Homo-oligomer: A and B are copies of this chain.
């Protein structure tokens, strides 16, 4: 038997991730709604609060909870998340003896019963509170009671001012306190932003050599004009020469092949160095500043792997694994061998120093102004390492964003998000049919992951040219762009997408790699080549910026469209509702009757409304009824995006 027992049960708390093992995620400006089942035996009235503070802060703040559903003992309370920081929260509940007393006395009085004894008992509760609190106004109330007659005492004890005073000084000695939970509050860019991926060396105009950062700056106005928020660059570090890969990933490079930027490290430096071909660290900082001037931020690739020429191998041989014959162990996925890549040995006895080294690398770039990292294959490095690294970085720099590139099995993809990654690459790139998209988005927005996994929907990457783009051509690029940009508040494309570049290595449909991938060669793009959809991209990003509804994730609702090729959904934020209809078939025209969510739009079944299509600016007045017909053609309109408003509103 313990010395104290907690009479009140607090359970079913949400949000709570894996018993509080991991924090949930929100963004600045959100309000955290906390829900819980709270109950005890008998008929007593319960009072409860959400307690919250900045993590490790000295004092808890409290927000009252209300019993939202008495039949289900379901309580809720909330508090604001005003800052980019970690917050702690919990719940405290106690028996509200005074309100219990008031409710019983009111019931008796209403039934015409005399309550002399009850008044004495009520007075005792006030005495207790006065003693606990030393509150002068309670003592004054007691003096008033001393000279009050029955009616006066009853009125005073049931009065609202006294209740409010008593509420300030409850007896919480037998309260129940739930375990402490955590919420990471990131900046809004953690949730919302359009990403554009480039190889900086391919942003120039001179063939046969890589562009410099200074040259690449010339591209920024155009990228910004398309409406992108984040410019993500593949690794910018010196590239090894040992076992360098040639064009199209062939084993032996030609003398003038530049090598893959993922073979990081040469005698010119490692993860803290800039490839001399790109310029100096000063040039990089200038580039970051130029991006900022164009309203964009830079995201760097963080790929923990070394070329055999990486300086770290000589400096810290103990961080690498050598084989019985004294050679260094290179990367393998047996029977495949990757001789141009050496992985660090996470099992090294010196692992603490190794972890620290990678933390130093991240902090180094943070100091150069980088606040976003796209992490390459995090699922092949120890998960506890990432949890530690992200916490360490965000401790000092809570604004830093980590995007997990983990195209791996679902539990591991989600696990990386749980342990701290800000955003995640997802399976969107492989989801094409109405059923696949509906299922997957429902899982991401309602199935649990929404508390910790923020999708970043990449329509392509430098490693992934999806089959739908290989076969579907320009309409497919438009269609996938609309899906990525309106289903998820964060999305991205790898450059060339806007040019509808879709030549795969090998026969179409056999690989997802690009022919003549710029991973392995210098490239000069014609950014204005015919058939490009730059204007379409610009308009989509403009619509995203103008419509807050498209800047959120969990506000997605799918609606019925009577054609399996047409996906129809809406997002609402406050007064802003956006409806999107997409033809998922890039080869055929499809029409459908859309089932408009009139209830959610506040429009009666018989009321007149106006539909405005945002791409075309077409306005259709005088509409009535739930059904709205669309015809979506690959040539003209693969998708339509609507505002619907009550006529005259």
Task: List chain A positions with a Cβ less than 8 A from chain B.
Answer: 1, 5-7, 9, 11-12, 18-21, 37, 39-43, 70-73, 103-105, 107-108, 110-111, 113, 117, 120-121, 124, 323-325, 327, 332-335, 352, 355, 379-385, 388, 409-412, 415
Partner of A334, one of B18, B104, B121, B379: B104
- Give A380 to B380 CA distance when docked, in angstroms: 54
The answer to whether B111 and A409 touch across the interface, beta carbons within 8 angstroms, is no
Q: Is the CB of B335 within 8 A of A382?
A: no
Known: A1-B355, A43-B333, A108-B335. 12 other contacts (CB 8 A): A1-B352, A5-B384, A6-B384, A12-B411, A39-B415, A41-B382, A41-B383, A41-B412, A72-B410, A105-B334, A108-B334, A111-B335
Give the CA-CA distance A411 to B105 in the complex, in Å: 27
A412 to B72, CA, bound (A): 9
Q: How far is the CB of A485 from chain B (nearest CB, A)?
A: 29
Residues of B within 8 A of A19 (CB): 19-20
| A382-B72 in contact (CB<8A) | no
Partner of A7, one of B37, B113, B383: B383
For A410, the chain B residues whose CB sits under 8 A away are: 71-72
Which residues of the other chain, B, contact A411 by a CB distance below 8 angstroms?
9, 11-12, 37, 39, 72-73
Q: How far is the CB of A548 from chain B (nearest CB, A)?
A: 35
Bound Cα distance A636, B36 (Å)? 50
- The residue in chain B whose Cβ has the minimal distance to the Cβ of A410 is B72
Which 9 A-B residue pairs are closest in the complex by CB-CB distance?
A111-B335, A19-B19, A120-B324, A107-B334, A5-B384, A104-B334, A73-B411, A37-B411, A42-B380
* Complex Cα spacing A70 to B1, Å: 45
B residues in contact with A11, CB < 8 Å:
18, 21, 411, 415
For this complex, 30 residue pairs linking A to B, each with C-beta atoms less than 8 Å apart, are: A1-B355, A1-B388, A5-B385, A5-B388, A7-B382, A7-B383, A9-B411, A11-B21, A11-B415, A12-B411, A39-B409, A39-B412, A41-B380, A42-B379, A71-B410, A72-B410, A72-B411, A73-B412, A104-B332, A105-B334, A107-B334, A111-B334, A113-B335, A117-B323, A117-B324, A117-B325, A117-B327, A120-B324, A121-B323, A124-B324
Report how far A567 CA is from B379 CA in the complex, Å.
50
Shortest A335–chain B CB gap in Å is: 3
Question: Which residues in B have their C-beta under 8 angstroms from that of A1?
Answer: 352, 355, 388
CB of A363, distance to nearest CB on chain B (Å): 15
CB distance from A415 to the nearest CB of B (A): 6
* Closest residue of B by beta carbon distance from A343: B42
Residues of B within 8 A of A352 (CB): 1
Cα–Cα, bound, A333→B103 (Å) = 11
Max chain B CB contacts within 10 Å: which of A70, A411, A412? A411
Q: A19-B19, A324-B120, A335-B110 are in contact. Are A5 and B382 (CB under 8 A)?
A: yes
Q: Report B-chain residues with C-beta under 8 Å of the C-beta of A108.
A: 334-335
Q: List, in ascending order, chain B residues with CB within 8 A of A40's CB.
A: 382-383
A323: B residues at CB distance < 8 A: 117, 120-121
Give the docked Cα–Cα distance between A332 and B381 (Å).
64
Task: State A384–B409 Cα separation when bound (angstroms).
Answer: 42
Chain B residues with CB below 8 A from A18, complex form: 11
With beta carbons under 8 angstroms apart, the residue of B9, B20, B111 that contacts A383 is: B9
| A381 shortest CB reach to chain B, Å | 6
A104 nearest CB neighbor, chain B only: B334
A380–B41 Cα gap in the complex (Å)?
Answer: 5
Q: How many angstroms between the C-alpha atoms of A332 and B333 in the bound complex?
A: 74
Q: Which B residues touch A20, using CB under 8 A?
A: 19
Contact A7–B41 (Cβ < 8 Å): no
Which B residues touch A104, using CB under 8 A? 332, 334
Smallest Cβ distance from A5 to chain B, in angstroms?
A: 4
A111 to B107, CA, bound (A): 85
**In the docked arrangement, what's the CA distance between A439 and B613, Å?**
43
Residue A73 contacts which of B70, B73, B124, B409 (CB distance < 8 angstroms)?
B409
Q: How far is the CB of A94 from chain B (nearest CB, A)?
A: 13
**With the chains together, A72 CA to B412 CA distance in Å?**
9
A7 to B386, CA, bound (A): 11
- Report chain B residues within 8 Å CB of A382: 5, 7, 40-41
Q: Which residues of B contact A42 (CB under 8 A)?
A: 379-381
Give chain B nearest CB distance to A217 CB in angstroms.
Answer: 37
